[in-house]
Structure 1
């Protein structure tokens, strides 16, 4: 059974435009910093113990209906590395990054309204082709877009049931066309000296 994390590790931020919150962090490797809007995230420990992080695509997760996101980073004697790009999701909580020093480097967040536009486009695509693109959009109880997940996350629960897997026939027509073309046409691959 999972137990709640016994410490409050939240760091409240100021309102937008109110100035930065300055933190001194210890060296860490492969860490995550989580952000949540107007709420607190719940973290748990499982027997092991191991930290149970919020799950963005699991409807039974305590944090599912919250507007949250994270960034990954490493801070050690050799580097400061941060990753705010996402493979598995985009969220309604835009995160940007600015590194200042002898030069300033900035990674901008998604523009305002981007997640809502992505959600609308996916819903429209589902209506056009009958694939479950709209199921990639996770909404709050009042219909607000919280995040958009990758197709992989919708498909994962069906790996043991491929005949029921979402998107299972998405590429069938295209694959058949490619197969038909190269059934009678040579395909040459240049390995560039490898």
Structure 2
């Protein structure tokens, strides 16, 4: 009698936890050696459910911004950008190199921006549905996170540590530093 009562209870408990197991793995790995090129079609890597995307957004006539944006709304609002708002020319490439660096190169191969704090031990990258782009180590721990390098937006679940800051962009189409900032001081 005890076994008959425990079996449905165990099954109910397992079924109740099932959604948590599926939520925990909501990302797609981006392999070492993968790259995106700044073209007219705004190439990108989307998160598993498509809420966010990481890649190139065309800004103005000739420039591209390496950025993260809301991917499921028509406005495609940018929430993070690399390289201090300096636009990359058409044909620039962002690559997760075989040695684990995320590097943005101009069309001639000159490095414009990279994640110099990462590299050693990176196994893959992932665009998470939280809006966080991460470089992940062999031990499955993040070695670099876009959340640790905020630009002008903070997202739910994002933490700004001291002495972090948010700096407004100059204008709607100019992502360089604007007049306003929010800073956490020591």
Shared fold (TM-score, shorter chain, > 0.5): no
Q: Which has the higher contact order (CA 8 A, sep 6+)?
A: 2
Question: TM-score when scaled to structure 1?
Answer: 0.28
Compare the two structures and name the one with the higher strand fraction.
Answer: 2
Greater gyration radius: 1
